[in-house]
Amino acid sequence: MDLRIYNTLSGGKEPFVPLEPGRVRMYVCGVTVYDYCHIGHARANIVFDIVFRHLKYLGYDVTYVRNYTDVDDKIINRANERGISSKQLSEEFIKAFDEDMATLGLLKPTHEPKATEYIGEIVGLTEKLVDKGYAYAAQGDVYYAVEKFGPYLKLSKRNMEEMQAGARIAPGEQKRNPMDFALWKAAKPGEPSWDSPWGPGRPGWHIECSAMSSSLLGDTFDIHGGGRDLIFPHHENEIAQSEGASGKSFVKYWMHNGFVNINQEKMSKSLGNFFTIREILERFDPEVIRFFILSAHYRSPIDFSDQNLDEAKVGLSRFYEALKAADVTLREHPVEEGGTCPQISDSEREAFDCIEALEDRFTEAMNDDFNTAAAIGHLFDGVRSLNRLVGEGRFDTCSLSLRVIQDGAALLRKLGGVLGLFGSEPEQWLAGQKQAGLAGSELSAEDIEGLIEERRLARAQRDFARADQIRDELAGKGVILLDSAEGTTWKLK
RNA sequence: GGCCCCGUCGCCAAGUGGUAAGGCAGAGGUCUGCAAAACCUCCAUCACCAGUUCGAAUCUGGUCGGGGCCUCCA
C-alpha cells in the first residue's frame, strides 16, 4: 500500500504523489524564539520528525525546512523587559531550542533558516504583492488586502462575513479592512528595523514563512506542516501571500498536528499548567516522551499526565527488556550460518511468521497517514514473538530460532528507527532508568546488592523465611527482585 | 453567535461499511522453594435514540456529554 496523507485542505486522506517523482519538499513552521519550548512544541516537532523519517524510509529524497521566526512583537517585548537586544534574546532561545530538540532525538532538518536572514526576500515578496494589487502601503506599514484574494479562508473553511463580525482594527493600524494583516510594519523607536521602499521597518508575522519556503523549496512544494492552531490565521495568510505573489498553487498537502492537554485541561499559561520541555525532562526520559507522543495518532489530542507518562515508560521498557533478552541470548548462543530446525513447533512457526510479516504491517500502518499508534501496536506483537523464541530456547536442536531472534531484534531496531525509538543500548538504557528511579529514594544500588547477597546466602541455607523477608522489604521500597539460573537481578516497580 | 473535532474494555489507544489491533491493570495456567520476569489462556459490540443498508463502532438525522478555533499560540 502506498502512502496516504490527511490533507487539511481537502479534509480527507489522499494518496501521496510528490510533485517530482522520488523527491519530497516539506516545510514546517518552527518556533518564535522568545521563550523555552513547551511540551506542545515537543509534540509538533516530534510528529514532523517521524514524517521526515518515514518519507526517507520510503526512499524519498527529502528536503525538510524548519524555520526560526526571530523577529516579532513578542521577541521585541520580551527583549525590552530584560533590557537586551532582540538579537541577543532570539539567539539565546534558538540555542535552547536546538538543545531541546537534540535531547528529544530529533533529526536535523535539511535547512533551518532564520527570518532575519531573509529580509531581502521578504521585502521583495511584499513589493510584488503591492505591484500585483494584493497589498497596499499606509504610513510605512504594508497590509495585505484580504478581499483581493478570492480563495482566502479556503484552508480554515470560514467565511469572511462571520470573521469580520469579530475583527477589530487596533489603535495605530492603518487597515482598510479589519481582516487585513500586516506584511511590513513601520519601525517604532527602539525596535529592530531594516530599510525598505516604505521606510525603515520589519516584517509582519506571516510573510517570513512565505519568503523562506519559496526561497528554499520553490513556489510550489509538497508538504507544509504545523500545529492545528496555525491553520488560521498563519497558514491561511501564507497561502494568500504565496499564491498571490506567484500565481501558482502553494502547497499540495497541509498537515496539522493535534494539541497537548495537561491533566484533561487545555494547556495554558493562565491555568498555570504550562510545562516546558526542560521541566518534563527533569522527570522523564526523552525517549519515554517520544514514545508517549507517538502512542497516539498525531491528529488526536493527547493528555499529558504523570500516569500516562508512567505507562509510556512501562511500554518502552518492555521493548528494551525484550531487546536485552535477545542480545543476551545471541551472546550466549552464536548464530550459525544457515540455521536449521528439524521440527518446527506451531508456536515457533507462529513467531517466525509474525516477525516475517512485521515490516509489512508496520509500513502499512505508517503509510496510513502516519499511524504511529497502530505501528507501535504491531511492534509489540514482534516483542511477544521475540520473547517467546527466547523463552522456548531449544537452540541446540533449532538454530533457526536463533537466526529469527537475530533478525527480529534487528528488525525491531530498524523499524523503531523510523520512529526515532530503540536507538539506545538496552542494558544501558535500562540501567539508566533504574539509576534515575533510585535518585529520590534512600536506597542505593550498593544497598540493594548487599541485600541480594544476604538473601542469596539465606536461600543457600534454605532459610526462605529470611530470604522472603528481604524480598518483601525491598518490594516495599519499590524494588523487585528477579531470580534466574544466573543469579538475582533487580528492577524498579 | 459562527466554524470544527471528539465520545471504543477499569485506564491508555488503533480501527471510519463486512461481524472490535496493541499496551497497562485484572483472572487462571506454565516456570519457581515461594515469587517476579517471560510465555500460554481469558477479559469490550463501540455515549444514547431513530434511520439508510443484506450488513454500521464506522453513513444520515437527533439527543446528551467533552474539547478546539474565531486575538498570540505547536
| CA closest to B69 C1', residue | A229
The total number of structural domains in chain A stands at 3
Residue A99 (CA) to nucleotide B6 (C1'), in angstroms, measures: 35
Claim to verify: residue A362 and residue A459 sit in the same structural domain: no
C-alpha cell belonging to residue A178: 479589519
A44/A52 Cα distance (integer angstroms): 12
Distance of CA A150 to the CA centre of its chain: 35
Distance of CA A366 to the CA centre of its chain: 15
Sequence-distant (≥ 6) Cβ neighbours of residue A207 within 8 angstroms: A122, A125, A126, A183, A184, A241
Mean pLDDT of A383-409: 91
d(CA A386, CA A404): 8
Q: Are A138 and A237 in contact (CB under 8 A)?
A: no
Domain span holding position A450: 441-492
The DSSP annotation for A172-221 comes to: T---SSTT-EEEEEEPPTTS--B--TTSSEEE-STHHHHHHHHHHH-SSE
Using the structure, give the distance in angstroms from the CA atom of A311 to the C1' atom of B23, rounded to a whole number: 8
CA A80 → CA A31, A69, A189, A423, distances in Å? 20, 18, 12, 43
Instruction: Spell out the residues 6+ positions from residue A443 whose beta carbon is closer than 8 angstroms to its own.
Output: A474, A477, A479
Percent above pLDDT 90 for chain A: 79
d(CA A464, CA A68) in angstroms, rounded, equals: 63
Q: In angstroms, what CA-CA distances link A485 with A48, A323, A446? A: 45, 19, 22
> How deeply is A398 buried, as exposed, middle or buried, from its count of CB atoms within 10 A (0-12, 13-18, 19+)?
buried
Query: How many Å does it take to go from CA A277 to C1' B62?
Result: 44
| Nucleotide whose C1' lies closest to the alpha carbon of residue A42 | B74
Contact A285, A100 (CB under 8 A): no
Asked whether residue A59 falls in the same domain as residue A165, the answer is yes
Q: How confident is the model at residue A1 (pLDDT cuts 50, 70, 90)?
A: low
Q: Are residues A398 and A473 in the same domain?
A: no
CA→C1' distance for A286 and B24 (Å): 20
Q: Are A153 and A160 in contact (CB under 8 A)?
A: yes
Is A34 inside any structural domain? yes
Q: Which of A99-103, A159-163, A219-223, A415-419 has the lowest mean pLDDT?
A: A159-163
Residue A299 lies in a domain: no
Distances (CA, A) of A336 to A87, A330, A399, A418: 61, 11, 7, 29
CA of A490 to C1' of B50 (A): 58
Helix (H) or strand (E) holding A319: helix A306-332
Strand partners, A368: A4
Q: How far is the CA of A64 from the C1' of B35 (A)?
A: 52
Q: Are residues A137 and A271 in the same domain?
A: yes
Q: Distance between CA A46 and CA A41 in Å, rounded? A: 8
A336-380: per-residue pLDDT in tens?
777 778 888 889 999 999 999 999 999 999 999 999 999 999 999
Structure confidence at residue A10 (pLDDT): 87
> CA-to-C1' distance for A478 and B39, Å?
25
In a shared domain, residues A360 and A266: no
Tell me: do A84 and A217 sit in the same domain: yes
Residue whose CA is minimally distant from B37 C1'? A482
- Does residue A90 sit within a domain? yes
The answer on pLDDT for A397 being more than 90 is: no
pLDDT of residue A399: 86
pLDDT (tens digit, 9 = 90+) per residue, A407-453?
A: 999 999 999 999 999 999 999 999 999 988 888 778 888 999 999 99
> Does residue A326 form part of some domain?
yes
Task: Report the protein residue whose CA lies nearest the C1' of nucleotide B2.
Answer: A162
User: Burial level of A317, CB count in 10 A (0-12/13-18/19+)?
Assistant: buried
Nucleotide of closest approach to A45 (CA, C1'): B74
The pLDDT score that the predictor gives to residue A478 is: 85
As a rounded value in angstroms, the CA-to-C1' distance for A41 and B13 is 22
Question: Distance from residue A270 (CA) to nucleotide B58 (C1'), in Å?
Answer: 38
The gap between A260 CA and B28 C1' (Å) is 39
A125's grid cell: 515578496
| Closest nt by CA–C1' to A178 | B71
Predicted confidence (pLDDT) per residue in A4-60, tens digit: 999 999 888 899 999 999 999 999 999 999 999 999 999 999 999 999 999 999 999
A356 in Cβ contact with A385 (< 8 Å): no
Burial class of residue A210 in the structure, from the number of CB atoms within 10 Å of its CB (0-12 exposed, 13-18 middle, 19+ buried): buried
Q: Specify the residue for cell string 525491598.
A: A474
Q: What is the nearest nucleotide to A314, using C1' and CA?
A: B24
Shortest-distance nucleotide from A389 CA to C1': B39
Q: Which nucleotide is nearest to A40 (CA to C1')?
A: B74
Closest-lying nucleotide for A38 based on CA to C1': B74
Strands A141-144 and A181-186: antiparallel
Q: What is the pLDDT of residue A121?
A: 97
- State how far the Cα of A60 lies from the Cα of A284, in Å rounded to an integer: 33
Give the H/E segment covering residue A313: helix A306-332
ipTM: 0.95
Q: Angle at Cα A383 formed by Cα A360 and Cα A321, nearest 5°?
A: 145
The CATH number of the domain where A378 resides is what?
Answer: 1.20.120.640
Query: Closest nucleotide to residue A48 (Cα to C1')?
Result: B74
Domain termination site, one of A393, A424, A455 = A424
pLDDT-derived band at A140 (thresholds 50, 70, 90) equals: very high
My answer on whether A333 and A253 are in the same domain is no
Q: Which nucleotides of B are covered by protein (CB under 7 A)?
A: 1-5, 11-16, 21-25, 32-40, 67-74
Q: Are A295 and A313 in contact (CB under 8 A)?
A: no
Give the model's confidence band at A244: pLDDT under 50 very low, under 70 low, under 90 confident, else very high. very high
Q: Integer distance in angstroms from CA A107 to C1' B57?
A: 38
Please tell me what DSSP assigns to residue A148. Answer: G
Compute CA A271 distance to the chain's CA centroid, rounded to the nearest angstrom.
24
Residue A9 is assigned to a structural domain of this protein: no
Nearest residue (CA) to C1' of B73: A229
Task: Please say which residue of A283, A304, A325 terminates a domain.
Answer: A283
Of A237, A268, A283, which one is at a domain's C-terminal end? A283
State the nearest residue by CA to the C1' of B12: A308
Same domain? For A147 and A255 the reply is: yes
In this prediction, residue A166 has a pLDDT band, given cuts at 50, 70 and 90, of low
- In terms of residues, how long is chain A? 493
Q: Is residue A119 part of a domain?
A: yes
Bridge partners, residue A24, by sequence: A62
Q: Tell me, what's the pLDDT at A57?
A: 98
Cell representation of residue A395: 537452540
In Å, what is the CA distance from A88 to each residue of A70, A111, A192, A205? 10, 22, 12, 20
Asked if A259 contacts A267 with a C-beta cutoff of 8 angstroms, the reply is yes
Q: Are residues A453 and A391 part of one domain?
A: no
pLDDT of A266 reads 77
What φ, ψ does residue A255 adopt, rounded to 5°? -120, 135
Q: Kindly state the DSSP code that residue A299 receives in the 8-state scheme.
A: T
Q: Are residues A467 and A378 in the same domain?
A: no
**A142 shares its domain with A169:** yes
Across the strands, what pairs with A483?
A: A488
Clarify whether residues A323 and A380 are in a common domain.
Answer: yes
Q: Is residue A378 part of a domain?
A: yes
Give domain status of residue A479, yes or no. yes
